[in-house]
Amino acid sequence: MKIVSAVCLCLMSVFAVAAEISIENAWARATPPGARTGAAYFALRNTGEADRLVGVKSTVAEKSEVHTHIAEGSMIRMQHLPQLEVAAGGDVEFAPGGLHIMLMGLHVPLRAGDKFTFTLVFEKAGEIEVTVDIVDARKEAS
Ligand SMILES: [Cu+2]
């Protein structure tokens, strides 16, 4: 009897996570040889309750962080966000010039046509693995 109820709870939580936060169109720019940093972008859709993005894990780089761009006078600089609020039913766009996943200390260059993965860690939804398409920067600009 105990075993049956444990299985039910487990299935329920899997459904809850799968339904609430989804990641679409994840991509990153190919990096030139020797580059040590890269950035990844995607669209985050939240159809559930408010949540918080609290971490990023990736094996392609030594360190992965959520960054945004902020204006300081005429200068634009990047800022590390240790936490990012995701509103209930809210969408968050990670795009060039705004929010991005910063990959620091790349172990290998990001080559156009390849894919890599990282994991987003949410306070409530838990860990979500994201597959990223690496695209040619020149093609993407056109
Ligand atoms: Cu950055």
> Which residue range forms the structural domain that includes residue 119?
2-141
Distance 84 CA to ligand 1 centre (A): 14
Distance 48 CA to ligand 1 centre (A): 28
Per-residue confidence (pLDDT) for residue 137, from 0 to 100:
72
Closest CA to 125 of 40, 41, 22: 22
CATH number of the CATH domain containing 55: 2.60.40.1890
Per-residue confidence (pLDDT) for residue 18, from 0 to 100:
45
Per-residue confidence (pLDDT) for residue 17, from 0 to 100:
45
Distance 79 CA to ligand 1 centre (A): 7
Per-residue confidence (pLDDT) for residue 22, from 0 to 100:
95
Structure tokens, 139: 């093609």
Distance 94 CA to ligand 1 centre (A): 11
51-80 pLDDT, tens digit each: 999 999 999 999 999 999 999 999 999 999
Report in angstroms the alpha-carbon separations of 67 from 5, 10, 39, 70, 95.
41, 33, 9, 10, 11
pLDDT at 108 over 80: yes
Per the CB < 8 A criterion, the answer to whether 70 and 25 are in contact is no
Total domains in the fold of the chain = 1
Per the CB < 8 A criterion, the answer to whether 78 and 67 are in contact is yes
3-52 pLDDT, tens digit each: 555 555 555 555 544 458 999 999 999 999 889 999 999 999 999 999 99
Structure tokens, 92: 């968050």
